[in-house]
Amino acid sequence: MQLILGIESSCDETGVALVRLPADGSLPQLLAHGLHSQIAMHRAYGGVVPELASRDHIRRVLPLTRQVLEDAGAALSDIDVVAFTRGPGLAGALLVGAGAACALGAALGKPVLGIHHLEGHLLSPFLSADAPQFPFVALLVSGGHTQLMRVDGVGQYAILGETIDDAAGEAFDKSAKLLGLPYPGGPELARLAQGGNPQAFKLPRPLLHSGDLDFSFAGLKTAVLTQAKKLGDDLATHKADLAASTQAAIVEVLVKKTLKAVQQAGMQRLVVAGGVGANRLLREQLDEACAQRGIRVHYPELHLCTDNGAMIAMAAAMRLQSGQQQADCSYAFDVKPRWPLDSICTA
């Protein structure tokens, strides 16, 4: 049995978690996790301010680590491996987590392991009570990424399709901003959309019939802007309708392309991960479409959809367990603000 501490600091949440890696090969277990969201701090600026993010991670990371250890009834000396998010993300923010992890590792004489943030999201459904089994198709939808992947095992990821411009979360966030909603726009737009008519406005479904599995969301925000301008003073009374129409357009493209990917890959299992995976309409439509086709869908627990430390500790545990990687004691850390997921594939 090994205890793995995971630290996430790639963007605007500081996350720390402790995971137990059983010696018998069974699935790693989450013992405790702590999260500090910087949303309230960045809200005044309408988006993430990188320098403020880094400084706040510095303030939060050690108190959160202490709290997580206390919650798990563990001591610092019980930690066997310290994992951290090595990328992709904001360079300064990543450096805080990497620095803290390597300093802890060096002080304890324990090895450290840098983890790919998207692999964390991808494997986060393994933390839920209804954990998936390999192989599956994954829809990874976050603020910076939109990818369809074939996942055959830990480290065995093949990209089937991805966005050629904006990510799905970005489409939510940018459209929300145009509607005057506060950061982060995705959940705000989804909330507003609940009271709106999704058919009120005809918005484009980019690349829906492109024949491949790629996405494009950049044109959608322009269409939303055009509609908002057209409405002028009437925007206030039609805001919920425009929000609902925007959400419907994003979700329809995501659902149709995902179903196509599952069908083309000949799979019966789908995993949805990343912040946009928290979207209720997306979950409802995927659940319904997959139930009709006999496809099992797995999501991370709702509170583990957005960034957190548990997914980083879990990804580290699963990489170690599968023999994909070993933690090391060099402590010469570097971070990778841009880091394609396929570069860590072993298949």
Instruction: Please report, as ranges, the residues that interact with ligand KG4 according to CB under 6 A.
Output: 11, 121, 142-144, 169, 172-173, 184-187, 190, 274-276, 278-279, 306-307
SS3 9: coil
Neighbours of 325 (CB within 10 A): 17
- Distances 53 to 36, 40, 171, 313 between C-alpha atoms, Å: 11, 12, 22, 21
Name the minimum Å distance from CB 108 to Zn ion: 27
- Of 12-20, 80-88, 140-148, 226-234, the segment contacting Zn ion by CB under 5 A is 140-148
| Contact (CB, 8 A) for 254 and 207 | no
AA letter at 232: G
Q: For strands 269-273 and 296-298, give the pairing.
A: parallel
CA-CA distance, 102 to 114, in Å (whole number)? Answer: 10
Nearer residue to ligand KG4 within complex by CB, 21 or 192: 192
- Position 12 contacts Zn ion (CB under 5 A): no
- Of 24-32, 178-186, 255-263, 306-314, the segment contacting Zn ion by CB under 5 A is 306-314
Nearer residue to ligand KG4 within complex by CB, 34 or 184: 184
AA letter at 59: R
Nearer residue to ligand KG4 within complex by CB, 59 or 303: 303
Nearer residue to ligand KG4 within complex by CB, 121 or 150: 121
The dihedral built from the CA positions of residue 47, 48, 50 and 51, taken in this order, carries a sign that is positive
Count of residues engaged in binding Zn ion, rule: CB under 5 A:
2
- Position 307 contacts Zn ion (CB under 5 A): yes
Name the minimum Å distance from CB 120 to ligand KG4: 9
Name the minimum Å distance from CB 148 to Zn ion: 17
Closest among 336, 271, 47 to 169, alpha carbons compared: 47
Name the minimum Å distance from CB 170 to ligand KG4: 6
Name the minimum Å distance from CB 121 to ligand KG4: 6
Neighbours of 45 (CB within 10 A): 10
| Contact (CB, 8 A) for 185 and 165 | no
Nearer residue to ligand KG4 within complex by CB, 56 or 307: 307
279 binds, among ligand KG4, Zn ion, none (CB under 5 to 8 A by kind): ligand KG4
CA-CA distance, 6 to 113, in Å (whole number)? Answer: 9
Name the minimum Å distance from CB 315 to Zn ion: 12
